[in-house]
Structures are given as C-alpha cells and as structure tokens.
Chains A and B, each alone.
Chain A
Amino acid sequence: MKRVAYYKGCLASLSAKELDSATQALAPKVGLELVELESVTCCGAGDIHEAEPDYYLHLNARILAYAAAENVDILLTVCNVCTLNLRQANFMLTGDADLRARVNENLVSVGVPAYEKDVDVRHLLWEIAEGEGYELLKQSAHRGLKGIKIAPFYGCQILRPSKIQGFEDPDRPWSLERIIEACGGEAIDYPAKIKCCGFPIIQAREETALGELIQPIEQAYEAGADAIVTPCPLCHLSLDAWQSKLKKATGRDFNMPILHLSQLVGVAAGLEESELKFKRHVVSVDPVIEKLQI
C-alpha cells in the first residue's frame, strides 16, 4: 500500500459526494492508502489566484504543509482545478527559497506547520494510468466494462499548461484511454476530448459556456458513446447538470451519462451502488448499468 495524503477539494466534499465515496472505496484496490486531510480549505479554484493572488499562495501552501506533516511523498487530488492550483503553488514555493521563507513565516505565525519537506501533487488519474497503480487496476477490474463505449473527456487543466502538469502530451493524451481499455471498455476518439467544458464561466457567461459544453457531448454522442468519463468534478458538474440547459438552448436532448473516473474504474472493479452513488447524477446512468447487466 502506498500511503498518500488525500485532498478531496470542495466539490467532492459537497455536491459531488459520489466522487469522494467512489474514490475512498476504490483506493485500496489500486494500492493507495488515503490519509484524509482535515484542516484544509478550498484551493481557490483559480478564482482566488485572480482576486487575491498572495492569499491564494498562502492557502495552497497551508494545504501542502498539512500534507507534508503527514510524512507522505504524494498529495493525491481528484480534481483538475485543484491539481493545477496546488501544483502551481508548489512550483512557486519549491523554486523560490525567499518566497517560501516569507510564506512559511506567515504560516507559522498563525499556527500552521511550516512547509518544509516537499510533497508532489498528483491526480488519481496519473497514479492509476501507469506503474504499480495500473497493474493493480488491471487485476481488480475483473467485472469489466465489456461492450461499453466510453468517451474519455480530459478537460483542460489536467493537460495544460503542460509545463506545470507535464504528465502526458497535452495534444495526444493517452491515460484515460489506457484505463478504459484496461477495464475492458472501448475508448471512443473525438477531437473535443481535450477542450473546455465551459465550467469556469458557466455563471458569468452562460451562453459562451454552453457553446463550449455542447462540443464534447455532441461529438461523443455522434461517435456512439454510451457514456463520457472525466477526471474532473467541475467538468462532471457542467456535463451532467447543465445538459438540461443545453436542451433548452438548442432543442437537442443527448441524455449522455457522465461518469467520474473513480466511478468508471469502480464499476469495473465491482463496487456497490452505495459506494458509487449513481443516484446523485442528474442524467441517469441506468442505460449503462443495464447494458452491463449488473
């Protein structure tokens, strides 16, 4: 078992609780022992980075410090946006001794342990797409996804900017496809899989956001996908919950089920509905479950 600090972020704590429960249930099957961080806050989702950049840095340093205090090497995330915000802050701190010293001084002055030992921020996707995690995934995905066509949707911030994320080629990513195939499903290829779901501006500029959102759903639908899988709960929320608004705006009803990465692997590994919590989705996942004949 690999002991990692687990940062679930806002959505998995609140509106996407299904992501948290599926991840917690899946973790031991892919060799991860999750140490849940209690004293942590929101990463700022890119918004605090813009509104109060220095506060953003301190908030993320605090999360990194609490992870390091658990004496682990990896801080595990399940959200694209958390991953980017934390990795960006981590590079800022580990690459600039003066900045780190100032931030640490502030952390200590409010009672947070200083961020001394470095941790690496890694998304669950990266942990199970290669190495030990991938081997265990192959073994545990015994139930399989036979006959199911899955459209991988990466979202933006797990791929770009690649100089901060850097796990795979941002134009030709392979990790989700590899996992889908290891689970016995068929991965669908379509151009919008690396594009934006529109979530960051879905409240401030809804029309523009819907214009982005329709691309992956429409392309996956036309390629015959049974469901879309995404490693990001924000992509999940817009793809799943905003489909009704898309229907209202365009008159097209795609009825496309959207799965979290942990749920997709969880189904293949035979997790229970009580752990996967498909009932919490807006677009029903039943057609996929029926096709699998569970």
Chain B
Amino acid sequence: MQVGLKVWRFNSRTGERELQEYEIAAPEEATLLDCLDIVKDQHDGTLAYRKSCRMMICGSCGMRMDGAAVLACKTRMYDIAQAGHVPVISAMGNLPIVKDLVVDMEPFWEKFRSVDPFLQPGYEEPPDGKEYRIDQPRMNVIHKEALCINCGCCVSECNSMEADPNFLGPQALAKAMRFVGDPRDGNKIARLEKLNGEHGIWECTRCYMCTERCPKGVDPRDAIAKLGAESMYEGIDRDMGAKHANWFVVSAKTTGWLRETELVPKTQGIISAIKQTRFALDLARKGKVPPPFPPHVAKNVKESRRLYELTTQQGPKGYMGIVQGEHALSRLAHGHTGEETLAEIYERPGAFKRPFIAGEELEAPVFLEKPPER
C-alpha cells in the first residue's frame, strides 16, 4: 500500500523547523514504526526517532500522530492509508525536543526517580521464613500500575503539566501508586506525605488525557484517585485539594447539595477567602454566590446521611474503595457493555475505526505438518 506521512523535522542546534512530506510503499500490515523505518532506510537517512523492541514492550517509540501521543509500533497504518489521510507526525509534548521525533526524557526520569520507584524495606517477615506471599485481590490493587513501560505518552498530553511543568505528572504518580499499594513496601506513609506536596496529586486537573492516551491500560488518573483516597484515609488531608474534596462529603451528608458559597473558605481558609472578597462580590451581583442561609436542602437528605454512616462503618476504605469498581469497569471497552460482538461495535454510528487485523482477507496460513527437511 502507499502511505503518506508529514513529519515535523526539528534541529535543536539551529532551531529550524520544517514539515516534510514522504510518500512510501509499505506492506499492508505495516505499523507507523515500520513506515518510519522504510523512510529512513530508503528515502531519508537523516530522520531521527527512537525505537527498540517493535512490540509495545520497551516504550521507546512514543510520538504524536495528528496531535495525539501513540506508540509508533502499536499504530497500524492500513485504515489511514486506505482513507487517503496523510497524518502529521511530531515529537511528544511537554518534553524538550532534541531532534525530529526524539525528545529529551531527562525531565521525565527525574520525576520518575523522585518517587523512589523501588520497594523499601520495613514489612514484617513471614513467620515461616519463606517468601512473602500476597493474594490476588491484594495484587489487583496495583495490577494496572504495574503495566507501565515508561513511554511518556501520558506525560506528553497532561494538561496540568502544560500549565505547570513542575507537576509530578501522570507517569510518576502512577508509578508511586504501584509502590504505595504494594503490601511489601515499608514506607507508605512517608511516600503519601511526599506525594501530597505542592506539585503532587492535588495538582491533577482530572482531564483524563493520560488515561485516554496510555497504550498499556495503566489508567494514571485512576492511580491518582487511589493515592488521594488512601491519603485521606490515612488522615493526610492538609492540602487544599483534600479539603476541597472533604467539603463535598460534608455538603452531601448535611444538605445533600454542594454548599457552594462555603467552599472557598473551607478549601483555602478564611484569610484567602477575605482577600477574594471583590471577586466574590462581582460574582454575587450575578447571582453566582448563592446565600448559605437558608440552605438549599435536598428532600429526604437524612437518607444520604445514613448512607454516609453505613459506608464509613462497613465499606472498603482508601484505594480499596476505588478498586471495588474495577471488576465491572475493566469489562468496558469504549462503551462496550458485553452484549454486542466486536464487529457490531465497529458498525455503530460514530464508532471507532475498526483496526486492521493482519492476515485478514488474505489467504489462510499454511501450516507445516512436519519440519522442512534440511
């Protein structure tokens, strides 16, 4: 098949940028990485990109296609080429570009290292002196986080990092959760304290870009929610983000609806709230600051209060509370509820494009009955 690519070239020494177009012939099963290899081998040896394993294990070939971070080795080109679309390939975002599609990963590794990505001693030795055994439900807590291959696709798209490059970011936080949630780790509380810092979990803006882009299903946003839940369960709730979250709980069990007007002083403190009086008055003039009295109370709100009491007594706590939904949620794939077949899903109006499956509509593979003779 014929594949067209537009690649953003960049030379960091001269600062020159250029959008260069390539037209190549590639086999139908070719991935984006295969196509870049063909460009480099046969058309333009100066093109720079990273690669290694070619099978979604090493995490080297993260880059952007039409503005969205992908692993080049996971992205099939068949449908795109068939549609006559010429995608724009560029380097990942939120990291400095060295050349063409190669980014400097050092800021990424610095944050990765800062969360101490290794088990720390301190757990109790098993009494029988044998290996430390963990049951499956306990391991499920960090199953997704353990899938991370450090490719940087999540970091590339993180909206909070775009606004504040110091934010720890989805990869480091997901990695942190992998150790916070591991029962063998002896340093959970100190880890959580550190992650509650200025550029930690509460700077996440919940845009879910990381979760959407991750090529391995790590779901960093969910990892950050687990860290938040566990911090609050352990009583680490001094951050404004935690106070903000707590105020929703107080609101839901007292009036049922969010007590909006009290949210600012409860999150930021009285002094900060007073400093913003003028801003508040501007909003109040437009009816955007509902008076706290009389409170807007939901009907039958005592049911909500009693549910709070019940769940705090008997429900799972911290990250275990978030993980309880995973059994059901992990069965979802792009709105799939399990009743439709895969083919039906791709036929729905507005559905995601059906990926090219290698070997489809080609001749059946020939299996050898015995090894060929030498």
What are the interface flags for B223-256 relative to A under an 8 Å C-beta threshold, 1 for contact and 0 otherwise? 0010011001000000111101111110110001
Interface residue ranges of B286-315 to A (CB < 8 Å): 286-290, 296, 298-301, 303-304, 306-308, 310-312, 315
Give Cα A112 to B349, complex, Å.
Answer: 37
Would B352 and A52 count as touching, CB distance under 8 A? no
Would A42 and B258 count as touching, CB distance under 8 A? yes
Kindly state whether residue A4 has any CB partner on chain B within 8 Å: no
Most A-side CB within 10 Å, residue of B246, B248, B251: B248
Query: Which of A51, A89, A93, A195 is the one whose CB lies under 8 Å from B249?
Result: A51
How many chain A residues have a CB neighbour from B under 8 Å? 83
What are the interface flags for A96-121 relative to B under an 8 Å C-beta threshold, 1 for contact and 0 otherwise? 10010000001101111000000000
Kindly state whether residue B370 has any CB partner on chain A within 8 Å: no
Would B349 and A110 count as touching, CB distance under 8 A? no
A14-B258, A50-B232, A156-B206 known; A94 vs B328 contact (CB < 8 Å): yes
A91-B329, A237-B288 known; A54 vs B350 contact (CB < 8 Å): no
Q: Shortest Cβ distance from A96 into chain B, in angstroms?
A: 4
Q: Shortest Cβ distance from A251 into chain B, in angstroms?
A: 17
Give Cα A16 to B303, complex, Å.
Answer: 26
Query: Which of B163, B212, B256, B329 is the one whose CB lies under 8 Å from A88?
Result: B329
In the complex, identify which listed stretch (B1-9, B17-25, B51-59, B319-327) lies at the interface while the others stay far away: B319-327
Q: Shortest Cβ distance from A32 into chain B, in angstroms?
A: 20
Interface residue ranges of A1-43 to B (CB < 8 Å): 10-11, 13-17, 38-42
Q: Using Cβ atoms and an 8 Å threshold, which residues of chain A touch B150?
A: none
A14-B257, A44-B248, A279-B286 known; A162 vs B329 contact (CB < 8 Å): no
What are the interface flags for B263-303 relative to A under an 8 Å C-beta threshold, 1 for contact and 0 otherwise? 11001100000000001001100111110000010111101
Would B264 and A203 count as touching, CB distance under 8 A? yes
Q: Using Cβ atoms and an 8 Å threshold, which residues of chain A touch B318?
A: 53
What are the interface flags for A251-294 relative to B under an 8 Å C-beta threshold, 1 for contact and 0 otherwise? 00000000000000000000000000001111000000000000
Would A167 and B350 count as touching, CB distance under 8 A? yes
In the complex, identify which listed stretch (B41-49, B168-176, B178-186, B197-205) lies at the interface while the others stay far away: B197-205
Give Cα A164 to B333, complex, Å.
Answer: 8
Would A55 and B212 count as touching, CB distance under 8 A? no
Query: Which of A55, A168, A169, A170 is the one whose CB lies under 8 Å from B311?
Result: A55
Give Cα A269 to B168, complex, Å.
Answer: 47
Q: How large is the interface on B (under 10, 10 to 19, 20 to 34, 35 or more residues)?
A: 35 or more
Give Cα A88 to B204, complex, Å.
Answer: 19
Would A45 and B331 count as touching, CB distance under 8 A? no
Would B324 and A54 count as touching, CB distance under 8 A? yes
Number of A-B contacts (CB under 8 A): 272
Would B240 and A203 count as touching, CB distance under 8 A? yes
Would A53 and B324 count as touching, CB distance under 8 A? yes
Would A41 and B252 count as touching, CB distance under 8 A? yes
Kindly state whether residue A142 has any CB partner on chain B within 8 Å: no
Would B67 and A191 count as touching, CB distance under 8 A? yes
Kindly state whether residue B358 has any CB partner on chain A within 8 Å: no
Most B-side CB within 10 Å, residue of A59, A89, A106, A164: A59
Q: Using Cβ atoms and an 8 Å threshold, which residues of chain A touch B258?
A: 10, 14, 42, 45
Q: Using Cβ atoms and an 8 Å threshold, which residues of chain A touch B299?
A: 38-39
Would B268 and A203 count as touching, CB distance under 8 A? yes
Q: Using Cβ atoms and an 8 Å threshold, which residues of chain B touch A201?
A: 160, 202-205, 241
A53-B316, A203-B263 known; A168 vs B350 contact (CB < 8 Å): yes
Kindly state whether residue A147 has any CB partner on chain B within 8 Å: no
Q: Shortest Cβ distance from A131 into chain B, in angstroms?
A: 9
Q: Which A residues fall within an 8 A CB radius of B? A: 10-11, 13-17, 38-42, 44-55, 57-59, 62, 88-89, 91-96, 99, 106-107, 109-112, 130, 156-157, 160-171, 174, 191, 195-196, 198, 200-201, 203-205, 207-212, 215, 237, 241, 244-245, 279-282
Known: A95-B338, A203-B244, A205-B160. 15 other contacts (CB 8 A): A41-B256, A47-B244, A50-B229, A50-B232, A51-B246, A54-B317, A59-B307, A91-B332, A96-B328, A106-B311, A196-B209, A207-B164, A208-B164, A210-B163, A281-B286
The 8 A-B residue pairs with the shortest CB-CB distance, nearest first, are A166-B335, A211-B163, A95-B328, A54-B315, A53-B321, A160-B208, A41-B256, A92-B325
